[in-house]
Structure 1
Amino acid sequence: MSSSSSSSLDGESVDQESPRTRSWWKLFLLALVVIIALPFVAFGIYYARIEVPEPNEVATAQVAYIYASDGETELARIVPPDGNRKQISLDEVPAHVQDAVLAAEDREFWTNSGFSLSGFLRAGLGVITGNSSAGGGSTITQQYVKNVLVGNERSVERKLKELAYSIKMTNQWDKETILQAYLNTVYFGRNAYGIHSASQAYFDKPVSELTVEEGALLASLIQLPSQLDPWNDRQGSEARWNYVLDGMVEMGVIDAAQRADARFPETRDPAEYSAYTEATGPNGHIKDRVIAELESIGLTEQDVTTRGLQITTTIDMQTQNATLNAVEANLAGLQEDARAAVVSVEPATGAIRGYYGGDDGTGWDYANAPLQTGSTFKIFGLAAALQQGIPLTARYSSEPVTLPGGTTITNASGTCGTCSIEKALVQSYNTSFIRLQSDLANTTWDTADMAHALGMARELPGVGETLREQGGQPFDGIILGQYQTRAVDMSAALATLANRGVWHRTHFIEEVKASDGEVLYEFNPNQGERRVSAQVADNVMQAMGPIAGGSGAPLAGGRPSAAKTGTAQLGNTGYNKDAWMVGGTPQLMTSVWIGTADNTTPIFNAYGGNMYGANTPADIWKMTLDGALEGRDFEEFHPAEPVTYGGYGGRRAYARGRDVFSPNSTEQTTTSESSTSESSSATTSAGTSADPNSPNPGEPTPGGSEPQPDTPPSNTGGNVPAPPAPAPAPAPAPAPAPAPAPDPAPAPEAALAETF
């Protein structure tokens, strides 16, 4: 009985558990159905909702190429953030290179539907289990979709989108289009995206010249681009390369004999390619200027990074090579922190034909940096005087002159007593030009306005308004180069004078084309503006004519030139910190600056003495122009029609036997060689802006009146006395050698020393 009861209990127990077990099985099966069906439902939704773009609508980042004026010499590249890429057609890729990529990544590409089911399930399992090594197995179509449409986030949702896009793309695009798109976007390492860039990065050759072995190596890199670079893992790279070649045999695209003869190819040094594409040398500064100009002409960042731009610049390789050779040859003998800037501008067009801002293309660009110009700025005071009817024959005393604040200005090169302003320019007499400036209608304003009209920038980054004293009237030292300007602006202004007063916008870019051949921009060379009369410009060039020869830098073969030197002193130390040689020929105007890396320490010549414009700057200037113009015709400057007294509304102080200066002048620090103190240059703003009430505030007119083309200024009234008789020249006393001294207290203004 107990046995029967026990059996009954056992039976009841079994009967009670069976329904529960069956319920769990039902839940499990339902969950399994959901797990299996849900991805398919989601896939169906994605497939119905997504739209595959047309091939030409997929904007992929491409490299912009910067070329010299010949359209062939590559200077630099603008590489987008996601790498170095240039689009090419499938026809440009040899069949054996295409086959190598398929052998490496998708041997069933021509027959599959855009996806691999086994690869998809394996990758999905990896996402669910968190196993990142579960692998991919993605087809080429899936890889392309991931690269350009859905990204590489590890999620089931992303994988479903990838699958939907891949299948739909295969239905809408032909296989050749997909393969071309893939080859133009896939990453090969070394910052190279696409087969074109990869061919350059690894073999320094176009894709069309790749061998079977080289194509197989590039294909083998796709799986692990950086890790399988032969320079990082030669053994691993060779193993993957062999896998690709074996696959090509299996596919029937190469035979056993070709496979047996294959030898692992050597690749170029990655450092060599990286340095070239990143333009870390002098071309890096050209690249920066080109990028800035692209923005100014209205091309967007998207244009630059997605349209495969081919940018033809104004850089003439004969001029550029002459520039680089001149700098290298002449800086070699100077102190370690010596730096140089050289800019050459074509007067007839404003084209920048040569540009050097330093060897470090990612560092400071000295050609675009504000620097004190020294006596080169006398050119602009002279032009303003000529514009107002003061001729080259006007005579000025070169004796020391005392400013209202008590500062005495002297010359570094003695005196002439009283002599013509033309001779004073050649000898660079500071005192004569201080007197000349006081006779201008608006004194220092006119010097500044003339410089701006000829091409000096009105504002500079980090400086603000140029050629102004904290927005107000410039100090008297402006004519002696107290204020800062850039080498590129100096060349631009001189180019206007060499072009007989017609200004052209300085520019680096001649033409911009997209990769499809569309011309996006072309410079218009007929946009010149007259800024000063031809008569004034011709007279300035005449006055500058003897200076190159006097500086020991006559151009080869007696080629005519116009030039000026300049030097800025380092405080009251007696040492110089900036040295210039500027000028050129009717074909090319070149500005050369020499200084130190931080511009706060002295610069010495090759013999350890003070650096002057007639030293290294003149040597670089001559060597640059001789090389740039070799083989070109000799051109003369236009004969100057003399300016006669008249057409002038200012003062003639020197004729009244006294010195008259700007009422805004204040006390200055006296220096033995009429030099600007370092503290002064640090506390004065170097800047300018046009009068807002001017009809054309963007370009102020020198002397307050608009110059008429090719005609002398008209007489605006006022008595013009005859020049005074020359005073006897006193014997100049020898100046003692300056001893280094601590910087003086900040002074509002000082003059600059300059000598040949």
Structure 2
Amino acid sequence: MAVMIIVPLVAFFTAYSVTKVPEPEELVNNQISYIMASDNNTELARIVPPEGNRQNVKLDEVPMSVRQAVLAAEDREFYSNPGFSVSGFARAAVGQVLGREGAGGGSTITQQYVKNALVGDEFSLSRKAKELVISAKMAREWSKDEILEAYLNTIYFGRNSYGISAAAHAYFDKDVKDLTPEEGAVLAATIQAPSSLDPWTNRERAESRWNYVLDGMVGINAMKESDRRKAVYPKVKDPAETAENTQAVGTNGLIKTKVIEELEQAGITEEQVNTGGLKITTTIDPKMQADAVDEIHKKMEGQQQGLRTAVASVDPKTGGVRAWYGGDDPVGFDFAGAGLQSGSTFKIFTLAAYLDQGGSLYDQFDSSPVMTGDAQVNNDGGASCGTCSIAEALKQSLNTSFIRLTQALKGGPQDVADMAHRLGVAESLPGVGKTLQEKNGKPADGITLGMYQSSPLDMATALATLSNGGTYHRPHFVQKVENSNGDVLLDNTKDEGDRVVSEEVANGVIQAMQPIAAYSNGNSLAGGRPSAAKTGTAQLGDTGENKDAWMLGSTPQLSTAVWVGTAEGKPIHNSYGGIMYGSGLPAQIWKGVMDRSLENTEIEQFNTGAAASSGYTGGYAGGGNAGGAAGAGQPEEQEQESPAPASPASPPSPAPAPAPRQPAPQGGNRPPNNDLQNLLDGILNP
């Protein structure tokens, strides 16, 4: 028994004698994380740790009622105890021996301060013993007011707020000196469990704890019983309105969000980013980014009110995202990563699947009206090339030829979906779920017309894969992550890529796409720079209006997807009121972004010498010369349209956010009880 008493006492006093208690200001470690452009010099965003927004306040700046609320909540004997609780330590020791992680409790304010500021919250007997030693010594070296002041300036109150001053702004958007007793009790109540006791998300439990605090204030004579009876639970602010730990403007805020998501997928938590002083080097090219945003703003001037656009540029040789624009609201809806109906841009995947099965660009396809199930598909305005090569049909964006091509594939529309996924189109998207399929898990023939949803990033990535000779690189925003010591936590610079289709197939699609930029209202790139492009639109039901317009195009150095539409899926018009097509504003934005992004860079040529050209004798090939209805410049009205999806998804709209996109209206003269005909009839025939 003597040994059991003497040994712990000797250990305690030995530790006590050698332990140094630091000053409060020595305990704060404010390390800002920086999100940098690829030049490592241009700052895109910075993430200030919550402690970095902490403002030390003197104890006399904190209203007495607020201090007393904290004492009532956490340590009602604070001014009389020796800085530690022997009973609390005993409970923790027994819990450690019995393996009860929830054991413990009864920690004094001094112990809480020591735990949070010095020893951490690891569940171990040695850590608890260290906490006890430091708390005992601190209680002798510091005054009670000094301990309480340090505690109030460092304790976590939730909402990324460390310290009473930050908490006052986070919950009530006011200075701490202006807090009422009821508001002080709200803050004191959160200390026990900040996340689960936030009244914005758990009002019932938060108010129960608040009542406990007020009752405790009465118990320690800090509040009159009459005032307690009159107390009303105060209104707190929406946490989204008071969040200030991220500093980013415009679309850089959306880039920051994509970076955080990518880091989490790599095992680097948001807590590490928020507090670890990381240096995050992104793939964003600062000049390309600045030029893209400037070009978008210029091109959007004078356009239809409520019109939105998204731009994603990807390096085909690395997968790095070089420029990104999903909107100007740093915390708003990001259209560049959203699921959007892709229109005729999707025809390139049908062509890739066909070439992958041995087809040729020169194989002939009939462009007359065609049946898919019980529905008839036509070309906009009755356009036709008669029977022409599939390359010519792609240039003219003839729906009927590509429905026949889809039907000629060994696996039908599933082959189109599989090819799109191979090249880089995501298999699932937020707000959409699994992509490129009906509820039965299979796609319809209309997949080739872009009836399903994909994101601008997906489309830019897939074209980047084709532009890179069929080698896929995972799209990414982060090049490298280093901690405050210079240690590399993540390095994405050594990705060698994966070959997903043959070089012949990839080059064949690129060859077919090369005439399209010039064919689409003369949107060739400056200086004769070659490009591979495809326009696309999605019509709004049988209204004769379009709701989505695309331009997708690349060079060997850069692949860029441009989408134009509205948040609600409303009709879109050009600046003079006409129906908008991909060959209009989207193509103009694409050309401007590409020209400025590639200015003063080498003009590289596509390697289309290995393009697929083998013969194919599939079901819809036929004789005749390629050409037909080709013209020097395709008018906007001739661009082919895609049907609305059967079950369009509304993008998630965090507040404040644009209204969700509505399902495209469908109607017109159609036979009853024919879903497929209802889907297509009146959409392809305005």
**TM-score class normalised by the smaller sequence:** 0.5 to 0.7
1 CA distance for matches of 2:68 and 2:667?
75
Q: Is the 8 A contact 1:581 1:614 kept in 2?
A: yes
Alignment-derived partner of residue 498 in structure 2 = 529
> Which of 570, 574, 577 lines up with 1:608 in the alignment?
577
Kept after mapping to 1: 8 A contact 2:364/2:623: no
Paired residue type of 1:652: G
Following TM superposition, by how much is the alpha carbon of 1:640 offset from its aligned partner in structure 2, in angstroms?
2.8
Shift of 1:581: 0.2
Aligned ranges 1:730-741 → 2 under 5 Å: none
Matched, 1:682 2:652: no
Residues in 1 aligned to 2:72 and 2:620: alpha-carbon distance in whole angstroms: 89
Q: Which amino acid aligns with 1:300?
A: T
Q: Are 1:505 and 1:528, in contact at CA under 8 Å, matched by a contact in 2?
A: yes
Aligned to 1:578, which of 548, 566, 578?
548
What are the Cα deviations for residues 626-673 of structure 1, in whole angstroms up to 9, with x where unaligned?
Answer: 111111111111133343435x7x94234499xxxxxxxxxxxxxx99
How far the C-alpha of 1:150 sits from its partner, in A, is 9.7
Q: Is the 8 A contact 1:458 1:465 kept in 2?
A: yes
Match of 2:560 among 590, 610, 613: 590
Find out whether 1:448 has 2:417 as its counterpart. Answer: yes
Mapping of residues 98-117 of structure 1, within 5 Å: none
Of the three residues 73, 78, 84, the one matched with 2:42 is 73
Gaps of 5+ in 1: 1-43, 87-100, 106-121, 135-140, 152-160, 173-180, 199-224, 230-272, 658-671, 687-738
1:729 corresponding residue in structure 2? none
Report the Cα offset of residue 414 of structure 1.
1.4
Paired residue secondary structure (2:388)? strand
Give the direction of change, closer, same or farther, for the CA distance of 1:576–1:170 in structure 2 (3 Å limit).
Answer: same
Distance (whole Å) between structure 1 residues aligned to residue 472 and residue 27 of structure 2: 43
1:22-45: per-residue Cα shift (whole Å, max 9, x none)?
A: xxxxxxxxxxxxxxxxxxxxxx99
Amino acid at match of 1:625: M
**Aligned match of 2:523 in 549, 553, 577?**
553
Q: What's 1:542 paired with?
A: 511
Q: 1:48 to 1:340 in 2, by over 3 A?
A: farther
Q: Is the 8 A contact 1:572 1:677 kept in 2?
A: no
Cα offsets for 1:396-425 (capped at 9, x unmatched): 121222334042322357111111111111
Question: Which residue is equivalent to 1:750?
Answer: 680
> CA 1:459 to 1:148, structure 2 compared with 1: closer, same or farther past 3 Å?
same
User: What is the CA–CA distance in structure 2 between the aligned matches of 1:629 and 1:186, rounded to whole Å?
Assistant: 51
Q: Which of 515, 523, 536 in structure 2 is aligned with 1:566?
A: 536
Correspondence for 2:342 among 370, 373, 377: 373
**Superposition pairs of residues 280-679 of structure 1, within 5 angstroms:** 281-412=250-381, 414-551=383-520, 552-599=522-569, 601-645=570-614, 651-655=618-622, 678=644
Cα distance in 1 between the residues matched to 2:52 and 2:575 = 43
Secondary structure of the residue that 1:640 maps to in structure 2?
helix
Q: Indicate conservation of the 8 Å contact 1:84/1:191, yes or no.
A: no
User: Partners in 2 of 1:495 and 1:296 — Cα distance?
Assistant: 23
Percent identity, aligned pairs only, is 48
d(CA) in 2 for partners of 1:464, 1:147: 41
Kindly tell me: are residues 300 and 322 of structure 1, through their superposed partners in 2, closer, same or farther at Cα, counting changes over 3 Å?
same
Q: TM-score, normalised by structure 2?
A: 0.65
Report the TM-score, using the length of structure 1 for normalisation.
Answer: 0.60
Across the aligned residues of Structure 1 and Structure 2, the Cα RMSD in angstroms comes to: 5.2
Residues 563/53 of structure 1: CA separation in 2 closer, same or farther (3 Å cut): farther
Contact map agreement 1:500 1:533 (CA 8 A) in 2: yes
| Alpha-carbon offset, residue 362 of structure 1 | 1.3
> In the TM superposition, what is the alpha-carbon distance from 1:442 to its structure 2 partner?
1.2
| Counterpart contact for 1:582–1:590, Cα < 8 Å | yes
Give the number of the structure whose alpha-carbon radius of gyration is greater: 1
Structure 2 portions without partners, runs of 5+: 1-9, 60-66, 80-109, 121-129, 142-149, 167-172, 178-241, 625-637, 652-664
Q: Which amino acid aligns with 1:376?
A: T
Whole-Å Cα distance in 1 between the matches of residues 668 and 305 of structure 2?
Answer: 24
Letter in 2 for 1:358: G
Contact 1:66 1:77 in 2 (8 A): yes
Conserved in 2, the CA contact under 8 Å of 1:674 and 1:753? no
Q: Decide which moves more: 579-588 or 275-284.
A: 275-284
Distance change in 2, residues 1:127/1:421 (3 Å): closer
Q: Distance in 1 between matches of 2:258 and 2:376?
A: 41
Total equivalences in the alignment: 527
8 Å CA contact 1:574, 1:740 repeated in 2: no
Mapped to 1, the partners of 2:276 and 2:248 lie a distance apart of 20
TM superposition shift of 1:63 = 3.6
In the alignment, residue 530 of structure 2 is paired with which amino acid?
Answer: P
8 Å Cα contact 1:374/1:752 also seen in 2: no
> Shift of the alpha carbon at 1:513?
0.8
Cα deviation per residue 1:114-139 (whole Å; 9 max; x = unaligned)? xxxxxxxx999x999x999x9xxxxx
Offset, 1:473: 2.8
